[in-house]
Amino acid sequence: MKIGFLHKVNTTPPQRGGSVHTYQLSHYLARQGHQLLALDNEQGSQFSDCFSRSLSGLRALISQSDLLYLRIDGRVGWEVASLVPGLVKPGQPIIWEVNSTLDELKVLPNPMRWRDRIGLFLRAFAARSAKAALCVSAPLVEYAQDIGIQSAELVPNGSDPEMFTPALSDPTLFPGLENKFRVLWAGSTNYVWHDFDLVLNCARRLEETDICFIVLGAPPRQLSGAIPTNLHFVPPVPYLEVPKYFASAHVGLSLYRTIDWTKYGFFFSPLKLFDYAASGLPVVYTNLPELDRVAAPFGRKVDVGDVQGLAHTLRDLQRDRSLYEWLSDQARRSVLDYYNWNRVGQQTEQLIQTLIAAT
């Protein structure tokens, strides 16, 4: 089967969430024997044919594809191609992989582009051409249905348990912190929905203890007050190098602010949540429905902005070894059993086969 992938970023090497998802899914489908088509910004060897990034190249990709697979995120992208008269073949199946609503445009740090402004009105029209949607979170299933895609299926993200594994643990990656209880926070300090302030304030509260906080990512552009001595920044590393850093921590943090700029609330499916779990890290997460649905079996939740609650939870995990080991085992098991990319690939391939059979 020829599957046309339309996504915005090169997947090889994988970098952030969008490229990681496409990287893992496309490799799975290629292993299953499908021919994958992409535009020529894509360098991944799993793509059998790449076409020029032009109107003629786009036409060729679409015309040669049995099915189109479109990644949908917080900015308008290739979904509007279906609105161009004659570009998509009549009856050609289109699947949307829904990762975000356009509400994200309200709070992204970059200014809104003209095509995003237009896209706010066009995405719902484009959704009429989608036969089905694969949604990474339960709120995004509701979103897909709201914009007119009735066949919307929950397909949460996952991790690669062979890539992310406790066996990679190497505390010397964090010089001087080998004998500390290492709490890891991975992500952007500049997205408004990420609660870096909670990490910072908890570090200040626990500064005189042997608990240290490691931020894998760039420091915030602005920081009020002095940086506590137990808060350490590790510059961003390529995604393929991330597993050893995760495995060398004790706890993973997945902390967010209340999201009041969209009616769907917290609709994300953070990759770090699953990669922490695959690495055998108990996860401390913000008490939001979508996070709780995933992480309750292998983590501990804290309220939004609750510095004292976070501090107490971390102290409990440090002191109670049996609890820590039980959560660590549960975390790893959750990925082996369900939250892995092979399961994502299987769900996706099953939907693809169903749509092709009905065409």
Report the Cα 180 to chain-centroid distance in Å. Answer: 29
Neighbours of 194 (CB within 10 A): 20
CA distance 340 to 154: 14
Angle between helices 17-31 and 271-278 (to 10 degrees): 60
- b/e per residue 148-175 (b: at least 16 CB within 10 A): bbeebbebbbbbbbebbbbeeeeeebbe
Dihedral sign of CA atoms 61, 62, 66, 67 in order: positive
Angle between helices 321-337 and 271-278 (to 10 degrees): 110
Instruction: State the architecture of 166-337 in CATH terms.
Output: 3-Layer(aba) Sandwich (3.40)
Where do the domains of the chain lie? Answer: 2-158+340-358, 166-337
CA distance 197 to 223: 9
Amino acid code (one letter) for 56: S
Instruction: State the architecture of 2-158+340-358 in CATH terms.
Output: 3-Layer(aba) Sandwich (3.40)
CA distance 19 to 105: 19
- pLDDT by position in tens, the chain (length 359): 999 999 988 888 888 777 899 999 999 999 999 999 999 888 899 999 999 999 999 999 999 999 999 999 998 889 999 999 999 999 999 999 999 999 988 887 777 777 788 878 899 999 999 999 999 999 999 999 999 998 999 999 999 999 999 999 999 999 999 999 999 999 877 788 899 999 999 999 999 999 999 999 878 877 777 899 999 999 888 899 999 999 999 999 999 999 999 999 999 999 999 999 999 999 999 999 999 999 999 999 999 999 999 999 999 999 999 999 999 999 999 999 999 999 999 999 999 999 999 87
Neighbours of 141 (CB within 10 A): 21
Structure tokens at 98: 């829904």
**Predicted pLDDT of residue 241:** 94
- Distances from the Cα of 351 to the Cα of 11, 36, 290, 341, 344, angstroms: 22, 16, 23, 15, 11
Structure tokens at 259: 């999201």
Fold match between domain 2-158+340-358 and domain 166-337:
yes
> HSE of 81 in the Cβ direction (CA atoms, 13 Å)?
27
Q: Can you give the length of the chain in residues?
A: 359
CA distance 214 to 186: 8
State yes or no: cis peptide before 85, omega within 30 of 0: no
**Predicted pLDDT of residue 138:** 97
